[in-house]
Chain A
Amino acid sequence: MDWTALAVSLRLALFTCLLLLPLGLWLGRALATARFRGKPLCEALVALPLVMPPTVLGFYLMQAFGADTPLGGVWERLFGSGLNFTFSGILIASLVVNLPFAVQPIQRAFETVPSHLREAAWCSGLSPAQTLLRIELPLVWPGVVSALALTFAHTLGEFGVILMVGGAIDGETRTLAIAIYDRVQAFDESGAAAMSAMLLAVSFLTIGVVYGLAGRRRWRRA
């Protein structure tokens, strides 16, 4: 078992979840409640990482991270180093790849909250922020936990994009999924098996959480 790779994977998954939570809430709520012209385009952009081949997405991200691009240039000026082959680089890649996993369950959850409930809260004197905290979040939290669980599990398992952007630098960008590949390449099947079993368990647990929460949502329709 490559504990360093596991630590990188967990760190990456944790940061991805933490950063995508506010973004997913904002974007998911906006897409569920707002009506604007470019909405289908926004939804398509959010969903794009789902259908793009990871190597293609990884390739474009690698290109975008280069020092001669706006993103890479700004990053290098701010932090003194590039994004390719760094933890920051794979974190940004992970944020992009996981956007649909974070946004879509939250958007679906907000879509089930009737607009009348928000309006009733306003008429009862609650501010928009209080309405979000006290009325909407208690109704959409299963969707939020689903989003976090899916993001977490998907980050642990992400391979192609991470490999393209980060390579396999020990303790920096070599995640568990990449370590498994390396083990197999080195004919260390027992090492690969242990780590695979680990990922399998995490994935199963995550999906269990998602379906368990889906069951909890039933009371809302009663």
Chain B
Amino acid sequence: MPERSDEVQRLTVSLHQPGPIPLAADFHCAAGELLALVGPSGSGKTTLLRAIAGLNRPRGGRIECGGDTWFDADRPLALSPQRRRVGLVFQDYALFPHLTALGNVMVALDELPPAERRRRAGEWLARVRLAGLEERHPARLSGGQRQRVALARALARNPRVLLLDEPFSAVDQVTRRRLQRELALLREEIRIPIVLVTHDLDEAAALADRLCVLHGGRTLQAGTPEVLFRRPASPEVAHLLDRHNVFTGEVVEEGGERRLAWGPWRLEVADGLEGRAPGETLAWYLPPSDVVLHRRGRPSRGERENPVPARVEELVVLGGMASVTLAFAHTSSTLSFDIATHAARRNGLARGEAVQVSLLAAGIHLMPAGSPANTRSGT
């Protein structure tokens, strides 16, 4: 790995255009950070990535990297892809089919003398564990090997930013996990902003330092996976992040204390009710980890907190874990959570059974009311 100055190479993106693909995106990515752009198909993820690379030119906005302006619609200024020095791994890898693995990487090292180019390309292939396959053409490489050549080619030019467009979508699951682990290891060595586009939320949560949720070209929320998955900014974000336990409640005052009215229940909420006016309607979300199932005949931890009776609507056993869906008498919304299959068996959980759960006050996250149904997209 060539030496790299440790100056701050922060990538700042602010792009706005009314069409043809509407954009209202603002995000940044620090050196050494991996930012995942997540969202359904057509949310503008790839458009943004291509704009950073200089492959398309939005109508308005700015892109800056490490103090240099790459794009400014007002000036107007738009550096060519060549001058931006980005490493881009395409979804289909876009390897040059007439060149060997080594030849593909050498293309990115054009500035060096030929002998040095060859040596460095060989080193890069070795770093992505492709030593011995230098002379193979892409057609004779497996999907995972092609992805590694594409990554080596993207990194060989000493890029200022690494852009990954769904880099793991074209390989099988075993290969995907291996490649993901390799990327996580590689990250420790490259101190540049890395932007990953993916529609796979698990992948984003596993690999990224921060997630940026996109919908219809708009950035809705950015934050660490923990924050996003526990504290989505709106029902729309919760829906896009595949969070199910979103309900509607009303702020009420009982005995001098604020409570969240949810049907007949008055829920205690640890955080966020202060400053809310009684009568205000709110959306609220409860992470599955903050649902406590009461054990039959024995008291459970936290069972005094917001106890609510329910009925098991669905019980799906997936190996060691069981996914439980509860229905309530007062609403058509359901509550889902996972428990160990043996715990489900021990508690005699079955479809139609009556149970009692506690909704932990610390887990209840309040959001402005909105209709998650409106955000539902085709995928």
Contacts and interface: CB of A to CB of B under 8 A. Distances in A.
* A and B interact: yes
Interface of A: 114, 116-117, 119-127, 130, 134-135, 138-139, 219-220, 222
B173 interface: no
B309 interface: no
A20 B85 CA distance: 37
Given A120-B94, A125-B108, A126-B107, A219 B81 contact: no
Secondary structure class of chain A's binding surface, majority of residues: helix
Contacts of A135: 96, 107
Contacts of B107: 121, 124-126, 134-135
Contacts, number: 65
Nearest to A116: B94
Interface string B138-150: 0110000000000
Contacts of B54: 122
A124 B153 contact: yes
A116 B92 contact: yes
A124 B88 CA distance: 9
Nearest to B111: A125
A222 B80 contact: no
Nearest to B95: A120
B90 A120 contact: yes
A127 B111 CA distance: 12
A119 B97 contact: no
Contacts of B157: 124-125
B96 A122 contact: no
A132 to B, nearest CB: 13
Contact of A123 (B86, B92, B95, B110): B86
Contacts of A122: 54-55, 80-82
Interface residues of B, number: 27
Given A116-B90, A116-B92, A134-B107, A123 B81 contact: yes
Most chain A C-beta atoms within 10 Å of own C-beta, residue among B80, B82, B86, B108? B82
A119 B81 contact: yes
Interface in B222-272: none
Given A125-B157, A126-B82, A120 B96 contact: yes
Contacts of B110: 124-126, 130
Contacts of A116: 90, 92, 94
B330 interface: no
Given A117-B94, A124-B108, A222 B139 contact: yes
28 contacts: A117-B96, A119-B81, A119-B88, A120-B88, A120-B90, A120-B94, A122-B54, A123-B53, A123-B55, A123-B86, A123-B87, A123-B154, A124-B153, A124-B157, A125-B85, A125-B108, A125-B110, A125-B111, A130-B110, A134-B107, A135-B96, A138-B98, A139-B97, A139-B98, A219-B137, A220-B98, A222-B97, A222-B139
Given A121-B96, A123-B55, A125-B108, 11 more contacts: A114-B92, A120-B94, A122-B55, A123-B82, A125-B110, A125-B157, A126-B107, A130-B110, A138-B98, A219-B139, A222-B97
Interface string B72-87: 0000000011100111
A124 B137 CA distance: 18
Pick the 7 closest A-B CB pairs, nearest first.
A222-B139, A116-B94, A120-B94, A124-B108, A122-B81, A123-B88, A138-B98
Contacts of B96: 117, 120-121, 135
B275 to A, nearest CB: 49
Contacts of A126: 82, 107, 110
A219 B97 contact: yes
Contact of B55 (A119, A125, A127): A119
Contacts of A127: 82
Most chain B C-beta atoms within 10 Å of own C-beta, residue among A124, A130, A219? A124
A137 to B, nearest CB: 10
A25 B50 CA distance: 27
Nearest to B80: A122
A75 B55 CA distance: 44
B360 to A, nearest CB: 48
Contacts of A125: 82, 85, 107-108, 110-111, 157
